[in-house]
Structures are given as C-alpha cells and as structure tokens.
Amino acid sequence: MRLSKYEKETIILTSEGEETVSIYTFNASLKRRLAEYSKKYPEIAKLVRWTAEGSVTYVLEKSRVSVRLLPPYSEERRRAAQALGKKYGISSDKNHAEQVSA
C-alpha cells in the first residue's frame, strides 16, 4: 500500500531528560543529510530503523540538533527578491515551476 504525502511524516522526538534526539522521516532531502552525517560522525548519529515504505529513524546526540526559526520577509525584501527573480527568469509561481521541470 502506498502512503499519501500527509502520511509521510517527519517526527523529531526528545525529552528534557534525554541526551538524544530521535528523527523519524520520509523526507528525501533529510534522509540524505542524515545518512551523510551518520557516515561522517558514526559516534554521534546512528541509523536505527528503516521501513519498506521508505521511512528511516536516526538517533543523534541532542547537542548536535537545533531548530532555526526565520522571520518572514519584509515587504521591501519580498519586492527585491521578485525583481531579482524577474531579472534572471526565476518564477515563484508553482505552475511555472512544474512546467519547467516537466
């Protein structure tokens, strides 16, 4: 059975009392990054489980994981990004991106 995109979750799990973080994900980019990191630093990050459906679970030292929250673009910054995109032929329009990749 094939999972929908809504069923393909990423879960980052830890508690205040633990020294590790468990990351369960279907996200291809995150899976690749975790695989590369665990190969480079096997004492810090370990693959502990994978499934036929395509998920992986890694356990990492908590001190190696951070969450970065970015503020939204100001209207001025948004206009500047749009101008650069137009200048170089880059569109934020989803339909345009799908047409280009097809």
pLDDT digits (tens, 9 = 90+) for 39-87: 999 999 999 999 999 999 999 999 999 999 989 989 999 999 899 989 8
In-domain check, residue 90: no
Does residue 18 contact residue 62 with C-beta atoms inside 8 Å?
A: yes
**Which residues span the domain enclosing 39?**
10-64
Three-class SS of residue 61?
A: strand
In-domain check, residue 29: yes
Task: Sort strands 10-13 and 20-25 into parallel, antiparallel or unpaired.
Answer: antiparallel
In-domain check, residue 18: yes
Global pTM reads: 0.72
Q: What average pLDDT does the structure give for the chain?
A: 90
Collect contacts of 85-89 with beta carbons under 8 A, ≥24 apart: none
| CA–CA dist 97, 53 (Å, integer) | 28
- Write out the two tokens for 65: 């994981």
Residue 94 has a pLDDT of 52
In-domain check, residue 86: no
In-domain check, residue 4: no
Give me the number of domains the chain comprises. Answer: 1
| CA–CA dist 42, 100 (Å, integer) | 39
In-domain check, residue 20: yes
In-domain check, residue 23: yes
